Amino acid sequence: MISSNDFKTGLTIEVDGDIFQIVEFQHVKPGKGSAFVRTKLKNIKTGATIERKFNAGERVARARLDRREMQYLYKDGDQYVVMDNESYEQITLNEAQIGDEVKWLKENMNLGILLFNNEVIGVDLPTTVELKVIETEPGIRGDTATGGSKAAVVETGATVQVPFFVNEGDVLVIDTRTGTYISRA
């Protein structure tokens, strides 16, 4: 249990059976009445944010999250198989557990898996990933004078906007947070 007086940004707590991360907090001491803590909480599972007030000194359960490094092995139908790097235990994840990041998954990639009571609640991909271009239109001489971009399909099936000089077979560095091209590898 943790007191509301000890709240910090980034702390994870359990409220009403859900897991929340503290995004913002503010200690308020009104002229009349008792002090309280105004917080903005982000639901770890759904991503929704809520605002909630806690009385000063109110005790809340601290959520103990376990973060493990795991390696993505392969896709089996609509399931994704990952292996714990320490125990070599394999678990399967579905697309809903991974989220939109599924389009950047590449075999043998290391992932950060967030667990709460041995239940997967989140997946952290590396910030950048190197992927090979499998399909794009050829660049035409003179196109680069005006800048611009064209669409390219990478080996995972995702489509990325790239500069005109990128060709099929090139390996690109892509930012997984924004899905944007960074450079050629």
Report pLDDT digits (tens) over 49-70: 999 999 988 999 998 888 889 9
- Write down the pLDDT at residue 141: 64
Q: What architecture does CATH give domain 66-124?
A: Beta Barrel (2.40)
**What would the pLDDT profile of 7-59 be if each residue is shown by its tens digit?**
988 888 998 888 898 999 999 999 888 999 999 999 887 778 999 999 988 99
- More reliable by pLDDT, 85 or 141: 85
Write the DSSP symbol of residue 32: S
Secondary-structure percent of the chain, ordered helix, strand, coil, rounded to 5: 10, 55, 35
- Write down the pLDDT at residue 146: 62
3-state secondary structure of 58: coil
Residue 76 zone, left/alpha/beta (φ > 0; ψ -120 to 50; rest): beta
**What would the pLDDT profile of 152-177 be if each residue is shown by its tens digit?**
999 988 999 998 888 899 999 999 88
Domain boundaries, the chain: 2-62, 66-124, 129-184
**Order of strands across the sheet with 59-62?**
2-3, 59-62, 12-15, 18-28, 36-43, 49-55
CATH number for domain 129-184, candidates 2.40.50.140, 3.90.550.10, 3.40.50.720, 3.40.190.10: 2.40.50.140
State the average pLDDT for the chain.
Answer: 88
**What would the pLDDT profile of 112-144 be if each residue is shown by its tens digit?**
888 888 888 888 888 899 999 999 988 766 655
Residue 183 zone, left/alpha/beta (φ > 0; ψ -120 to 50; rest): beta
- Write down the pLDDT at residue 60: 93
Q: Distance of CA 83 to CAs 8, 49, 137, 175, Å?
A: 33, 31, 37, 24
Distance CA 36, CA 181 (A): 46
Cα–Cα nearest to 20, from 9, 30, 31, 28: 9
- Write down the pLDDT at residue 173: 93
Please state which CATH class domain 2-62 belongs to.
mainly beta
* pLDDT over 80 at 88, yes or no: yes
Answer whether 66-124 and 129-184 agree in fold.
yes
Residues near 150 by Cβ (< 8 Å), separated by ≥ 6?
136, 137, 139, 161, 162, 163, 164, 166
Q: For residue 145, name the pLDDT band (cuts at 50, 70, 90).
A: low
Measured in Å, how far apart are the chain's first and last C-alpha atoms? 48
Q: Are 13 and 4 in contact (CB under 8 A)?
A: no
Distance CA 143, CA 95 (A): 39
